[in-house]
Chain A
Amino acid sequence: MPKDFEAKTSGIGAPMKRREDIRFLTGRGVYTDDLKIAGQTYAVFVRSQVAHGRIKAINTEAAAAMPGVLAIFTGEDFKDVGGNPAGWLIKSRNGEPMREPKRPVLAHGKVRHVGDAYAAIVAETYEQGRAAAQQLADDTDIEELPAIIDMKAAAADASNRVHDEIPDNLCYDWGWIEDNRAKVEEVFAKAPHVTTLELVNNRLVPNAMEPRASIGEYFPGTGDYKLTTTSQNPHLTRLLVAAFVLGIPENKLTVVAPDVGGGFGSKIYHYGEEALVLAAAKKLGRPVRWTAERSESFLSDAHGRDHVTKIELACEKDGTFLAFRTETYANVGAYLSNFATVTPTFLHGTLMAGPYKVPHVYVNVKTVFTNTAPVDAYRGAGRPEATFSLERVVDQMCRELGLDPFEVRRKNFITPDMFPYTTPVGLAYDTGNYQATLDKVIEIADVAGFEARRQASAKKGKLRGLGLSTWIEACGIAPSHLVGILGARVGLYDAATVRVNATGNISIMVGAHSHGQGHETVFAQIAAEKLGVPESSIEIVHGDTSKIPFGMGSYGSRSLAVCGVAMTKAIDKIVAKGKKIAAHMLEASEADITFEAGKFQVAGTDKAKTFGEIAFSAYVPHNYPLETLEPGLEETAFYDPANFTYPAGAYLCEAEVDPDTGKVTIEAFHCADDFGNVMNPMIVEGQVHGGVGQGIGQALLESTTYDETGQLLTGSYMDYAMPRASDVPFYNVDYSCQTPCTHNPLGVKGCGEAGAIGSPPAVVNAVIDALHRGGITHVKHIDMPVSPQRVWAAIQG
C-alpha cells in the first residue's frame, strides 16, 4: 500500500479495518440458512435428469402419501402466474424484438436443461422431502428429446428447438452499430493487414461459497409475505417476484437479504425457488425453507461467459488500428435470466473499442438458446469477453507484424488530451490516462529485469513469458433515460436515506447490498468525513426492503459510484437543513453559516453549534423555526448518474510453462489500475485480488463442460477446478494512477470487476509469449482454460 494511503486513519481514503469482520470472524454472521423459524418446513426440488424432454405425466400419488409430505407443486400449479422476465429488450439487426420465451416458476410441458426444476415437495423434514422427491422422480414420465448443446449447431438446425415457438433457437441477431457495418467492411477490404482470431470465452460457474437459499413466510393476519433470500438486490427481487411472477402487491412483500456469502452476479437474479417458497408458505400457512446443495448450484445457478467469437483487426503495417470487427455466438442457455440479454450486447459490444482510438468498430452477436443452464452476468459481465477478444487479437497482430506489444498499445491509446472521447461503439469516456497505467505496470513489474528471469527459467528447462493486457470497462451503468432507449426495463439509479437520530448518531439506509464488499465500513467512512463525526456513530443499514429506499442493489461495480453518491447527496441535504436550524439558533443569516468538521459556525465568529446540538434541536424543536422548517433531520436522495464510469488499467502476467507437462505456473501478476479516487485502499486491493483470482481461474482452471447429451460433467468441486491457494501467487496491486470520474462528486469509478476483466488475456498472452520465446512458434492460440493437457497438445502441434 502506498505510504500516503497508510497515513490516514479515518474518513475517506483510510485503510480502515472492516467492522463487519467481527461477526464473520466469530461465527456470528447471519446467513439465510442460519435462520430457524418456528414451524418451518422444507422444500426439495425435483430436477430434470435429462437436458431436453417432454413431460408426459407426473404421478404424485405415491410421493404425497409418504411420511411428512405436506404438499407437492408442479408446473401445472404455476401455469397461470407470470414468468420471470428478462430485464432488457434487445432488438435484432432487422429491427425485430428478441424472442422471449416464458420462464415459469416450475417447468411446464417441457424440461429444458439438466437441473430444470419441474416439481417441488414440501415436507416436515429435509430428509422426508428428499425421499419423496426421489419417489416423484421415479413416478414422472419424461420423453427424452435430442439435446441442443452446441450453440452454433443450435442456430443452424431449425428442426430441433429448445422452445417450440422459436424456430432457429435464436434470441436475437444484434448489430452494433448496424449503420457502421458497411463502412467497417470497406475498411477491412482495403486494409494493409488483417489479423483474425477465433476464440472461446469459456463458460464459468460463479460459485459464491454460500449456496443460494430462500425462506418464504406468510402472515395470514395481515396478508403479508416475507422472503429471506440470498440476493444482491432485494428491491429488484421484490419487484420481480411480486409484480411480475406471483402478482402480490409490492407493499405486501418484504424481501430481506441478510448476510450473503458472495454473489459475483449469480445472486442478482430472481429464481423460481424464491417464488415457490412464498407460494408454498401461503398455501401451508407455515414457513417454507430451501437451501441449495452445491450440486444444485452447479445445475441451476446462472452461469457466466460462454461466447464463441471471431475477431478481426484491420491495421496499418506499423500497427495503427483501423478497425475491429467481431462475430460472436453467445449461449444464453435454456431460459432468459434477468440480465442475460444485455450482457452479450450493451455490456460487451459497447466496450469493443477498448482504450484505443480505433476509428471503426462493428460487433455482431447472435444469442442462442441451448439445453443448458441459463447464462447471465458473472463478475465483469460482457466486459471480460470484450477485453479478452481485443487483447488477444492485438497481441497476435504484433506477432504477425513483428511489432512490440507495449509500443503498439501505446501508439493506439486514446491520449489524455482527447477526453471526453466518444468511441465508435457509442460510449463517451469521461477521463483516463492509459499511458500512465501502462508506464506504472512496466515499472512495478520490473520488465527491465524480465530477460534475466527468463534465462533463469530456461536453465531449469522452463519457458517464461510476459503477457500484457490494457483494459477498460464501463461501470455504474446509467443514465436511466439512455438505457431506457436501449431496451432496459428498469431504471439504474440508486438511493440512500440518512436519518440523524435525536441523540446525534446516524442510521444510513442504502439501496446497495454488501455481500463481501465491506459497505458497512466504507459508506460509514465517507459519511463520517462529510459530516465530521466519528465512524462509530454511523450505522449502515442494507438488505431489507422494509427499511431501505428503493435502490437497485450491488452489481456492475456500481455501489459507490451510484449509491455512494446518492448517500452524499442526502448528506448534502442534511447539512443544508442543519444550516437553517443553526442560523435560527445562532440568530444569524443562513448564508453566514459554515459547516466544517461537524460544527455549524457563524463565519468569522466563534458562535457555533455542534452537529449533535443541531440534531437534538431538530427533534426537540423548542427553539426552532417551525413556521418555515419541518422538525426532524432525515433526508433521502436518489441519484441517476449522467454517464457510466470508466475504470481502466494495465495488467502484466509473468508465467512459466513446463514444456514437458504443459503445466502453467503464474510466477507474478502485476496490476496498475485507475479507479479514480479510492475510498478505502485496503478494500480496493482486496477487490482486485479477488477479481484476478477469478480471472486466473478462468484462464487456467475452470471449465464448465456439458457432454453431447447435456449432462454437466463438471457438476461438483471434484470436477470443476476452483482456484485453490496453491494455484495463485501474491498479486502486486497499484492504484496510484488516478483520474477521478468527472461526473460524480466522489470521483470514484468502481473496482469490483476490474481484476476479472483484465487478467484472463494477460495470462493467455503470457503463455503464448512463453512458447514463442521458447522457440515453439507454431502455436497461435490456446483456448481457456489453458490446462496442461491443452498446452502440451499445442506444443506437440
Chain B
Amino acid sequence: MLAGATTNVVFGLLRLAIISAAVTAAHGEIADYDIAATNTYVWIGQGLLGFVLLWGNNELAERVRSGDVVVDLYRPWHLQGALLAQDVGRGGYALLTRLAPPMVFGMLLFPFQFPENPARWPLFLLSATIALVISFGVRFLVELSAFWLLDNRGLYGFWNVSSGLLCGLTVPIAFFPEWARNALWASPFPALLQAPIDVFLGHGNVVKLLLYQAFWAAAILAIGHFALQRAVRKVVVQGG
C-alpha cells in the first residue's frame, strides 16, 4: 500500500521531469498543456494507475491454468459480476491509498490546475469510477483468454507494455498526431486514463467524455459476459 503509493510518486517525478522539459522547450505549452496542466495530468495519472488498476495480477488466468476456476464457476453467482464487485470494493480502498496520495503530493509541491467549476470534482470521481469498470472489463478479457490460450502471459505482457501508451499514461493523447488521436479515441483505451484526466482539466466536452466512457463500459462488459459463456460451453476445465 505505502510501497505502491511511493512508487507512483517516484515515477511521477520522473515523468514530470521529462514531460515538463518538453513543454518548456516548446515555449511553455503543447496542445493545451502548460506547466500547471502538465503537473496535474502527471499526478492524476499516477493516482489513477493504481485506482483503475491498469495492470492486474492475472489471478483469474492462473486459476484457469490450474483448473481452480472450477470452484469459481459453480458458485451461485455470475463470475464476471462477482469479480467486478470485488474490484469496485478494491477501488474504494485504492481511492484513499493510491489515488489520493500522488494527487495531494502534486497539489502541495507543484503548480496545480484546480478545476474552475467545483462540479468537476464529483464528475471526475464518476469518470474515474467508469474508468475502473472499463479497466476491469479489459483485464477480465485478457485473463479470460487463458481459457483458449491456456498460457496467456504473452497477451498479458503485451497489454502491460502497450496500455501505457494507448491509454494516455506515457504522454497525453493530445500530443499524438491527428490520425493517431482519432484512432485512439475510437478505441476504449483513452477511457481508462485520459478521459477522467480530461474531465478534471476541462479539456473537451464533459458530457461527451462521460458518454464515450459509458458506451465502452457497457460494450466491454457485454463482450466479457459472452466470452465467459463461450468459455464455459466450449472449453475444458483443466486437471480432472
Q: Do A and B truly interact?
A: no
